[in-house]
Chain A
Amino acid sequence: MGIGNPLLCDDGVGLRVAFELKDRVDQPEVTIMETGIAGLALLDLLVGYDRAIIIDAIQTIDGKAGHIYRLDTQAFDAARHTVSQHDIDFTTALEFGKKLGLSLPKQIIIFAIEASDVRTFIEECTPEVQKAIPICVELVLQELKKG
């Protein structure tokens, strides 16, 4: 699942990775989604799947544009009470869904690509982030092979 805004420069990098994956993945049991949402709405989309790989943009303090981080939900858990609660954050949404007994993926991996510009309306990524796209595609393919 690629998440982002395709009109907002590097914010859309997750969508571009998902788009590339459409031509590279032929397993019928794998669904490739492109979306622009977060929180509870994300929960709605994850219901019914066994595993999820999410590809998203991220901005970290002193982060280097184009760097790719592989995170699991534990990494978000660790800091849940120190990070911002936009709408409802992803971890809280997941915990909420679990409490309600929703059928959510047993494993969720997040590939987060460090973004440089997420404030300019333009339909392409900055060069550093652009370079990360094929690398991230390979990482997702390897992740899929793990089964």
Chain B
Amino acid sequence: MKKITIDPITRLEGHGKIEIFLNDAGEVENTYFQIPELRGFEKFCEGRLAEDMPQITQRICGVCPEAHHMAATKALDDVFHVDPPSAAKKLRELFYSSFYVTDHTTHFYILAGPDFVMGPEAPVAERNILGVIAKVGLELGGAVIKTRMQNHRIIQMLGGRAVHPVFGLPGGVSKGLNEDERKEVEQIAKDSVEFAKLSLKVFDDIVLKNKEYLDMVLSDAYTHHTYYMGLVDEKNRVNFYDGKVRVVDPDGKEFVKYSPKEYLDNVAEHVEPWTYVKIPYLKKVGWKGFVDGKDSGVFRATPLSRLNAADGMATPLAQAEYERFFSTLGGKPVHQTLATHWARLVELLYAAERLLELSKDPEITSPNIRTIPTAKPDEGVGIVEAPRGTLTHHYITDENGIIKKANLIVATVNNVAAISMSVNKAAKALIKPGKKITEGLLNRIEMAWRPYDPCFGCATHTLPGQAAMEVVIYNSKGEVVDRLHR
């Protein structure tokens, strides 16, 4: 058997690895998606004060600290049996909307954009943000930086610092907004809405109006018919901060809608010999292997999934874009993985609009931002939508609020089965016997998992000279017959 290794995945936090096994005929036999193991996080949490969890868990990685901070904070509400005041909930959602604006902006322009703006097979030296601004213009680059900085300003305003905020507390938040700050947030929100609209226009011009790209988005190589998961409000509209988890089947029909506490009744974990990651699947459907379809418990939790799992968006411009999304792509649900990039931009617009709504809410400057917990702590579950998918924190404490057990299902882990399947399908469609394996071809395989934006939360750095992307081809005896460096 021949073996191709792509390690590490480029443009991701931490190192991942894709192993592609070829048979003697040179066809793809199978592929494996590996996540680096971080040892002992749950154990590390045991014996600590529950109220430290929003600070501890947000250090899991440098990409989405705010998502862990918020899931942990909500789990603490549940652990301490406390309902935060309405203003505190709105402040949390405002904070979280700002975070979404920064995160989705970064993904689209830095990670996804280069493939489309420069082309999937453009030289690697050009397929990055510098190439993008050289082609699209400096002005857009400036808007990206400004949007990120402005929204980090909001996070800092409420969280005390731009990275690793100190904001969420059981029963509320640590700081509110005064009128001057509120005005500043409102202006930033207005700018962010304009920026989101501009970003959708960029997507329209570059991807949707390019037949070759649209065909690629719609192609079978990047398509899977799975279940979809996402948090929804009481009207089944997309919500990042709160609500129930809704799952729709591959036909788009509601399969289940559950409260955070019921997650263990709905999600089970499958163990494979080749990875330490326990692969989540829908318990009531069952694990049938790495296959799609209605009989397989494989689900996806991504921006695309959230749009599929909901009935609409809660803000007007995002709703209009939501409708355009589904009418352009042939109705609900959309199964094309590459459409996730567009879904992310619909969500960017929603986040900016929601930020604006909340900044104008009369209650947002209320000083009533905390309900002091008085009940005995025991157990709690908090679920939010992280930008990369549904994020669950579950803590069990003793009566003094000391953590006895912590369980985290992070966004990327939800998608491990789907990512493996996506890579396998793209590899099978693209690698053919006798066809030269080029960097561009490998990038097209990478494009199958980039929409999920898997995040490994591992932040070490490499010295110059170390090969970042290496492809090694082995013959059936295990000897290296070819080696490709980026």
Interface of A toward B, CB cutoff 8 Å: 4-8, 11, 35-41, 43-45, 47, 56-61, 63, 69, 75-76, 78-88, 92, 95-97, 99-100, 102, 112, 115, 118-122
Q: Which of B62, B130, B463, B465 contacts A38 (CB 8 A)?
A: B62
CB nearest neighbor in A for B57: A7
> Given A78-B464, A102-B145 in contact, is the A84-B106 Cβ separation under 8 Å?
no
User: Does B38 contact A119, Cβ atoms closer than 8 Å?
Assistant: yes
Least distance between A3 CB and chain B CB atoms (Å): 8
Q: Is B258 an interface position by the 8 A CB rule?
A: no
Interface residue? B141 (CB, 8 A): yes
B residues 438-486 in Cβ contact with A at 8 Å: 458-469, 485-486
Contacts of B141 in A (CB 8 A): 96, 99-100
Q: Are A96 and B130 in contact (CB under 8 A)?
A: yes
What is the interface of chain B, defined by CB distance below 8 A to chain A?
8, 10-15, 36-41, 43-44, 56, 59, 61-63, 65, 106, 110-111, 124-125, 128-130, 133, 138, 141-142, 145, 148-149, 152, 162-164, 458-469, 485-486
**Roughly how many angstroms separate A35 CA and B469 CA in the complex, as a whole number?**
27
Beta-carbon nearest neighbor of B153 in chain A: A44
What are 16 A-B interface contacts by the 8 Å CB criterion? A4-B459, A5-B61, A37-B163, A39-B110, A43-B145, A57-B461, A58-B463, A69-B463, A84-B10, A85-B128, A85-B468, A86-B12, A92-B130, A119-B37, A119-B38, A121-B40
- Contact (Cβ within 8 A) B62 A5: yes
Besides A60-B466, A118-B458, 15 other A-B contacts (C-beta < 8 A)? A8-B458, A36-B62, A36-B164, A38-B459, A44-B152, A44-B162, A58-B462, A60-B462, A61-B466, A79-B463, A84-B8, A88-B11, A96-B141, A99-B133, A121-B38
Compute how far the CA of A62 lies from the CA of B164 in the bound complex, rounded to whole angstroms.
33
Total number of residue pairs linking A and B with CB closer than 8 Å: 156
Closest Cβ–Cβ distance, residue B141 to chain A (whole Å): 5
A58-B461, A60-B466, A85-B10 given; A40·B130 CB < 8 A: no
Q: From B106, which residue of chain A is reached at the shortest CB distance? A: A40
Please give the distance in Å from A33's CB to the nearest CB on chain B: 10
Q: Is the CB of A7 within 8 A of B130?
A: no
Chain B CB within 10 Å, residue with most, of A41, A80, A84: A84
Q: How far is the CB of B232 from chain A (nearest CB, A)?
A: 30
Q: Quick check: B40 and A7 within 8 Å, CB to CB?
A: no
Whose C-beta in chain B lies nearest to the C-beta of A76?
A: B464
- Shortest distance from the beta carbon of A86 to any chain B beta carbon, whole Å: 6
Contact A83 B133 (CB under 8 A): no
Q: Are A60 and B463 in contact (CB under 8 A)?
A: yes
Q: Roughly how many angstroms separate A120 CA and B145 CA in the complex, as a whole number?
A: 34
Which of A11, A95, A96, A122 contacts B459, CB < 8 Å? Answer: A11
Residues of A near B40 (CB, < 8 A) are 120-122
With contacts A5-B459, A38-B62 known, is A86 near B10, CB below 8 A? yes
Q: Most chain-A CB neighbours within 10 Å: which of B59, B63, B467? A: B59
- Complex CA distance for A87 and B125, rounded to whole angstroms: 15
Which of these, B163, B462, B463, contacts A41 with CB under 8 Å? B163
A83 to B486, CA, bound (A): 8
Inter-chain CA distance A84–B7, complex, in Å, is: 10
CA distance A66 to B148 in the complex (A): 35
Q: How far is the CB of A18 from chain B (nearest CB, A)?
A: 14
